Amino acid sequence: MALNKRVVNIISNRNYESRKTSEILVSKLRKSGFEPSVTYDEKAELNICIGGDGAFLRAVHRSKFPSIPFVGINTGHLGFFQEITPDGIDTFIQRYISGDYNIDEIFLVSASICSDEKCYYQTAINEIVIKGIASKIIHLDVSIDNNHLEKFSGDGLIISTPVGSTAYNYSAGGSIIHPSIKALQITPISPIISNAYRSLPNSTIIPGDSVIKINPERRYMNSILIVNDGYEYKYKDISTIDLTISKKTIYKLNFSKDMYWENLKNKFL
């Protein structure tokens, strides 16, 4: 590999449109003096993800939340992570070479899932969901910084990041939070409100330096399903789940300060 080459990772899903776009992108990058890599190179200066939002999420997880910035080319449905259209590749390359972009920091959510004997750790971009296996009702004690908030009963809880606030959280009735705000959101899924269980019916926004502690009732310790950005995980004898803003962050190129609001309007209105 020539020393003057600038390495760029190309991460694409397998559908026809994405593969075709990847071939065009590789050719154009080479002509502009870059060295495109379709196998992940940890020394690359940029990750270009081709597909929809799902492809973006998978790419970040598989590359283990790197410090290399991401940018997305959208070949799927309108999403919030994929900013470039396939017919805008030339403009993107020109603006990237000239430095005409900003780099946004994206906050993540981390979970520590513990039994009496062992802890497991998860990091998510959009959300971590705590719900019942086989759609069972679950009962959870929820505290914020050791202050008891509620005794939840229902289908589950979504703990979402600001970028995840427009995903599952929004569909469940949660609020939209701008990605620049360092916060987490707790959104109930079909809460039951009774004399025994005092579940909040609406979402709650938590400061970024706070710890959300969730304790399943003992009889439900093996009825809990953890869903991380759509990936399901089952653990035995869960006693405590602690959720916080992660110490990890990822970075994304942004070519317009108005893109978020344009996406918001085009996607939901």
229 is an active site residue: no
What's the burial of 75, exposed, middle or buried (CB within 10 Å: 0-12/13-18/19+)?
buried
Where, residue-wise, is CATH 2.60.200.30 in the chain?
108-248
For domain 6-100, the CATH superfamily is: Probable inorganic polyphosphate/atp-NAD kinase; domain 1 (3.40.50.10330)
Q: Are 124 and 161 in contact (CB under 8 A)?
A: yes
Coil vs helix vs strand at 269: coil
pLDDT, mean of residues 109-124? 96
Question: Tens of pLDDT along 196-245?
Answer: 777 899 999 999 999 999 999 888 678 899 999 999 999 999 999 999 99
Identified catalytic residue from 53, 87, 145, 237: 53
Assigned token pair, 244: 């916080």
Where, residue-wise, is CATH 3.40.50.10330 in the chain?
6-100
218 secondary structure, DSSP code: G
221 secondary structure, DSSP code: T
**Model pTM score:** 0.93
Instruction: From residue 170, give the alpha-carbon distance in Å to each of 91, 120, 236, 243, 268.
Output: 32, 27, 30, 19, 10
Coil vs helix vs strand at 147: strand
Q: What is the CA radius of gyration of the chain?
A: 20
What CATH number does domain 108-248 carry, 3.10.20.880, 1.20.1560.10, 3.90.420.10, 2.60.200.30?
2.60.200.30
